[in-house]
């Protein structure tokens, strides 16, 4: 009668084998990605649009808002706006015994 081989209960690869496999996978990925990284960008610069001259842009920086004027403490004036700020601040702190 032949002896049956049973798998070991701990069939994980050794740390050296895992490191070797990880390095091989990393090398394979780097070799596969190298042509994409080294490829020339053959895109031609976009032709200017008809009727657009120079470095025309439809985007302009926003103007700085005017400085707010001091008010009576509750109402401030910012530009043509009068702002009234009111309300409450409520803080609750809780703790438990940790049991």
- Report the DSSP beta bridge partners of residue 83: 76
Going by pLDDT thresholds of 50, 70 and 90, the confidence category of residue 90 is confident
Q: Supply the pLDDT for residue 36.
A: 82
Please state, in angstroms and rounded to a whole number, the distance separating the CA atoms of residues 24 and 59.
Answer: 49
The pLDDT-based confidence of 2 (bands split at 50, 70, 90) is: low
For 3-7, the CB contacts below 8 A with 24+ separation are: none
Whole-structure pTM value: 0.32
What pLDDT, on the 0 to 100 scale, is given for residue 63? Answer: 81
Q: What is the pLDDT of residues 19-77, one digit of tens each?
A: 999 999 999 999 998 888 787 766 666 777 777 777 777 788 888 766 655 655 677 77
Q: Which of 1-10, 23-32, 78-87 is the most confident on average?
A: 23-32
User: What is the pLDDT, as a whole number, of residue 15?
Assistant: 87
């Amino acid at each position: 009668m032949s002896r049956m081989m049973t798998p070991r209960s701990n069939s994980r690869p050794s740390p050296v084998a895992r490191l070797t496999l990880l390095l091989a996978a990393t090398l394979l990925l780097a070799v596969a990605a190298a042509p994409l990284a080294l490829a020339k960008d053959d895109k031609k610069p976009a032709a200017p649009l008809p009727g657009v001259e120079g470095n025309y842009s439809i985007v302009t920086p926003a103007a700085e808002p005017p400085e707010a004027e001091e008010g009576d403490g509750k109402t401030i004036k910012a530009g043509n706006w009068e702002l009234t700020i009111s309300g409450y601040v409520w803080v609750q702190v809780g703790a438990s015994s940790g049991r």
